[in-house]
Amino acid sequence: MPMKTIAVIVDTTDASAGRVRYAALLAARHHAHLVALFVLPPGWPATPADCFARGDSAIQQVIERCRVRQRADIAMVAGQVQATTMPYDIPVEFRVLGPDAASRELPLHCLHADLLVLGEGVGGVATAEGLLLTTGIPVILVPTGWTGSVAESLLIGWNASREARRAVRDAAPLLLAARAVRVLVIDPEKNARHGAEPGADLGLALARQGVKVTVDQMEAAGRPVAEIIRDRARSTAADLIVLGAYSHSRSQQMLFGGVTRSLLRQADLPLLIAH
In eight-state DSSP terms, residue 63 is H
* 178 in the same domain as 90: no
The predicted structure's pLDDT at residue 253: 42
**Positions of the chain with pLDDT lower than 70, given as ranges:** 42-59, 61-63, 101-103, 121-127, 192, 246-258, 260-262, 264-266
The answer to whether residues 9 and 137 belong to one domain is: yes
> What confidence score (pLDDT) does residue 217 get?
92
User: What is the number of structural domains in the chain?
Assistant: 2
The residue among 81, 116, 142 that closes a domain is 142
So what's the pLDDT on residue 122? Answer: 55
pLDDT score at 248: 47
Nearest-angstrom CA–CA distance, 214 and 219: 17
In this prediction, residue 274 carries a pLDDT of 87
Q: Residue 174 domain-assigned? A: yes
pLDDT at position 237: 95
Domain extent for 35: 5-142
**Residue where a domain stops, chosen among 91, 116, 142:** 142
Residues 135 and 233 occupy one common structural domain? no
Q: How far is the CA of 266 from the CAs of 196, 213, 261, 263, 271, in angstroms?
A: 34, 26, 9, 5, 11
In terms of domains, do 46 and 11 share one? yes
- pLDDT tens digits, residue range 74-85? 999 999 999 999
**Do 213 and 173 belong together in one domain?**
yes
CATH number at residue 219: 3.40.50.620
**One domain for residues 66 and 158:** no
pTM of the model: 0.86
Nearest Cα residue to 169 out of 211, 141, 130: 211
- Contact between 19 and 141 under an 8 Å Cβ cutoff? The reply is no
Tell me the one-letter amino acid at 5. Answer: T
C-alpha gyration radius of the chain: 21
The whole-number pLDDT of residue 183 equals 96
Give yes or no: residues 248 and 203 share one domain.
yes
Q: With respect to residue 148, please indicate whether it lies within any of the assigned structural domains.
A: no
Q: Based on the domain organization, do 82 and 102 belong to the same domain?
A: yes
Say if 147 falls within a structural domain: no
